[in-house]
Amino acid sequence: LFLSRDKPAATRNEFHSIADSMAGRESLVVESSGAELQGTWYLTVYEAVESDFPVPYTLLLSEGSDVPRAAPAPPVLEAGADPLERGRIATVQLVGAMGIGSGCLMGEKGYIISNAHVVTSPDGRIAEEMIVAVSLDPFQVPVEAFTAEVLDVRIEDDLALLKITGDRWGRPLAAGTAFPGWEPGDPDALRPGEPVMVLGYPWIGSGLSRPYFTITRGILSGGELTPGGLLLKTDAVISG
């Protein structure tokens, strides 16, 4: 978002205020009042897409720092009618200052398992909070619906544990809110040759600035014991 005065901002050097992030919900705050706000202001919305492929968006204007009245309530996540739909709903996208990645909802309390590199910066800083986006429609960009706190990170295993704590605006969730989730399997029951599906939000194959939900399939090709644990091999394409 570029906010400029008297004329539209043609470049990043002509703005009065700017807000940009990897999340599609930038907030731009103007800390001026009275005569400083008088005049004509222009808000430029920039999205990295083709000029002949318009992207819909919504602008909310409010006075003060409270949550806008028009802010929608978070969606109710249903478990899904079949395993593929349940897997799509329980596979979430995590968005934050450190980047974008995938995660798995684990159980109705809103716990999420992801990778440590999703919530960690190159210099080792760990994000305090991530936005959780869900694929309500598999052919549309995921909807940012919740915020999650990073509870624990294990760099050596590239694992992170998060928990949903509120909606995308930070408001508390309704009492009794439950989430669909993945059920852990039995690694000892794995056999080479069994079918494998990979679900997530890879950058590869996504034409917009946000990855879409993607699923690929293959077989369990084998496994290899390493100091970090058992690594599984598959011929399923893992894009991104």
Decide: 145 and 113 in contact? Cβ < 8 Å: no
Query: What is the edge-to-edge ordering of all strands in the sheet holding 41-44?
Result: 17-18, 2-5, 41-44
Average pLDDT over residues 117-133: 90
pLDDT for 38 beyond 90: no
Integer Cα distance of 178 and 59 in angstroms: 30
In the structure, what pLDDT confidence band is assigned to residue 157 with cuts at 50, 70 and 90?
Answer: confident
**What average pLDDT does this structure show over 170-177?**
91
Q: Is pLDDT above 80 for 61?
A: no
**Residue type at 116 in one-letter notation:** A
Position 64 pLDDT exceeds 80: no
| Number of other residues whose CB lies within 10 A of the CB of residue 172 | 9
Q: What is the pLDDT of residue 39?
A: 79
pTM across the whole model: 0.81
Write down the pLDDT at residue 22: 58
Q: Which of 8-12, 199-203, 227-231 has the lowest mean pLDDT?
A: 8-12
Asked whether the predicted pLDDT for residue 192 surpasses 70, the reply is yes
Confidence at residue 16, expressed as pLDDT on a 0 to 100 scale: 74
| Phi, psi values for residue 13, rounded to 5° | -90, -5
Q: What is the mean pLDDT of the chain?
A: 84
Mean pLDDT of 128-152: 92
